[in-house]
């Protein structure tokens, strides 16, 4: 499953093409949430504060009217230039941002208004202030509230979909993504520094994680890719907004007629089905105190001591055959 919009003859070209998308998604000139909402909606009333601590400028939200439809919007907010970016903490929310989001979504639920979210963050802010005020709890609760919210939710990933800090705003009945947006479990730099032990491998990590919108569509994580104008969203923000408005209103109209319980159950089922696993025969035995015979042989092979296997008169075959048998038994049952 490869991004089909990326035409690449070899690994280097693929890496370059994927990395270009990452840079597009992060481009500071790219239209951010407030800019998009103001272009999509005819009226915007921004609301502020989590009623607990403070107003987080990295998450914005409020009421808006999209082609006559009233809705509540919430989104990450990056800044257009340096000063604003510093004020907005580069779109990295503190816990109070997520608590503002919960407050606004609960309000939407009570008022019977649908929610539209815009996702664009490198991730939640990882500093001490954020940890002290429980950023993990805020994200977890936000995700939980969104999964059970009794009103329609349409989500758009507009730029960077960075990990849990993005997911908190990205639980929806329909998840759309702009063509040059990315969505990943950890930043490419973070993955590279953990798995390759150097941030220099960020481009390889970006390819391995399949973070482009087209690949996320193939994985079933998002439902629809919205094409951007030529040169990317920032070359023509109005056209980008027009395309988004058409898709958002279409989905809002479909979801509006749905029974609330059916809606929430379908959302539960959407996330319930994410990911795949195999079912093999359970061993039915308690955990072994130490690795069994087959596993010890295999461990030796892995540790590069294959020569010893010959000396002990055991062919290398049985270990693998036995493992395969076990798998097949599992598939039969």
Partner 1 sequence: MPIKLPFGGRREQHPTNLWTRCPDCGEMLYNKQLDKNQRICTRCGHHFRLRVDARIAQLLDRDSFKEQDAGLQSVDMLGFVDQKPYPERLDGARTATGIRDAALWGTGTIAGTKVALCVMDFAFMGGSMGTVVGEKVTRAAEHALEERLPLIVVSASGGARMQEGTLSLMQLAKTCAAVGRLADAGVPFISLLTDPTTGGVFASFAALGDVIVAEPKALIGFAGARVAAGTIAEQLPEGFQRAEFLFEHGFVDLVVARPKLRETLLGLLRYMRPTVHVDKAGGNGSSPIGRSPAFLESLIKREPAHG
Q: For residues 59 and 47, is the Cβ–Cβ distance under 8 A?
A: no
What minimum distance in Å lies between the beta carbon of 72 and partner 1?
Answer: 10
Q: For residues 75 and 60, is the Cβ–Cβ distance under 8 A?
A: yes
What minimum distance in Å lies between the beta carbon of 117 and partner 1?
Answer: 13
Q: How would you write 91-112 as a 3-class SS string?
A: HCCCHHHHHHHHHHHHHHHHHC
What minimum distance in Å lies between the beta carbon of 244 and partner 1?
Answer: 19
Q: Which is nearer to partner 1, 31 or 124 (CB)?
A: 124
Q: Which is nearer to partner 1, 86 or 144 (CB)?
A: 144
Measured CA to CA in angstroms, residue 153 lies from 146, 163, 254, 280 at distances of 8, 19, 11, 37
Q: Which is nearer to partner 1, 230 or 261 (CB)?
A: 261
Report residue 169 as tokens. 């705003």
Q: Which is nearer to partner 1, 38 or 141 (CB)?
A: 141
Cβ partners under 8 Å of residue 81, min gap 6? 28
Phi-psi region of 166 (alpha: psi -120 to 50; beta: other; left: phi over 0): alpha
Q: Which is nearer to partner 1, 29 or 250 (CB)?
A: 250
What minimum distance in Å lies between the beta carbon of 236 and partner 1?
Answer: 28
What minimum distance in Å lies between the beta carbon of 277 and partner 1?
Answer: 5
CA distance linking residue 280 with residue 22, whole number of Å: 38
Closest CA relative to residue 281, chosen from 332, 211, 320: 332
What minimum distance in Å lies between the beta carbon of 310 and partner 1?
Answer: 13
What minimum distance in Å lies between the beta carbon of 284 and partner 1?
Answer: 7
Q: Which is nearer to partner 1, 9 or 274 (CB)?
A: 274
Cβ partners under 8 Å of residue 291, min gap 6? 299
Q: Which is nearer to partner 1, 4 or 131 (CB)?
A: 131
CA distance linking residue 239 with residue 255, whole number of Å: 25
């Amino acid at each position: 499953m490869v991004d089909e919009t990326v035409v690449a003859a070899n690994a280097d070209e693929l890496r370059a093409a994927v990395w270009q998308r990452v840079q597009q998604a992060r481009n500071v000139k790219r239209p951010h949430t407030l800019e998009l909402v103001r272009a999509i909606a005819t009226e915007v009333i921004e609301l502020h504060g989590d009623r607990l601590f403070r107003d987080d400028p990295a998450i914005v939200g409020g009421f808006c009217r999209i082609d006559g439809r009233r809705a509540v919007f919430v989104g990450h907010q990056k800044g257009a230039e340096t000063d604003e970016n510093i004020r907005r903490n580069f779109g990295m929310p503190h816990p109070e941002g997520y608590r503002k989001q919960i407050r606004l979504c609960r309000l939407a639920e009570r008022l019977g208004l649908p929610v539209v979210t815009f996702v664009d963050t490198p991730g939640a802010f990882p500093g001490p202030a954020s940890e002290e005020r429980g950023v993990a709890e805020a994200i977890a609760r936000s995700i939980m509230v969104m999964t059970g919210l009794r009103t329609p939710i349409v989500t758009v990933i507009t730029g960077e979909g960075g990990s849990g800090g993005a997911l908190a705003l990205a639980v929806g009945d329909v998840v759309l993504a702009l063509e040059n947006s990315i969505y990943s479990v950890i930043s490419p730099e973070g993955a590279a520094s953990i798995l390759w032990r150097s941030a220099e491998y960020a481009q390889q990590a970006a390819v391995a994680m399949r973070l482009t919108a087209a690949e996320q569509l193939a994985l079933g994580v998002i439902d629809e890719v919205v094409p951007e104008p030529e040169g990317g969203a920032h070359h023509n923000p109005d056209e980008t907004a027009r395309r988004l408005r058409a898709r958002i209103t279409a989905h809002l109209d479909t979801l509006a007629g749905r029974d609330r319980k059916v809606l929430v159950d379908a959302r539960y089922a959407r996330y319930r089905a994410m990911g795949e696993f195999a079912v093999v025969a359970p061993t039915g035995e308690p955990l072994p105190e130490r690795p069994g015979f087959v596993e010890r042989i295999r461990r030796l092979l892995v540790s590069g001591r294959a020569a010893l296997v010959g000396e002990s008169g055991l062919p290398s075959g049985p270990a693998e055959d036995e493992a395969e048998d076990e798998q097949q038994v599992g598939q039969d049952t």
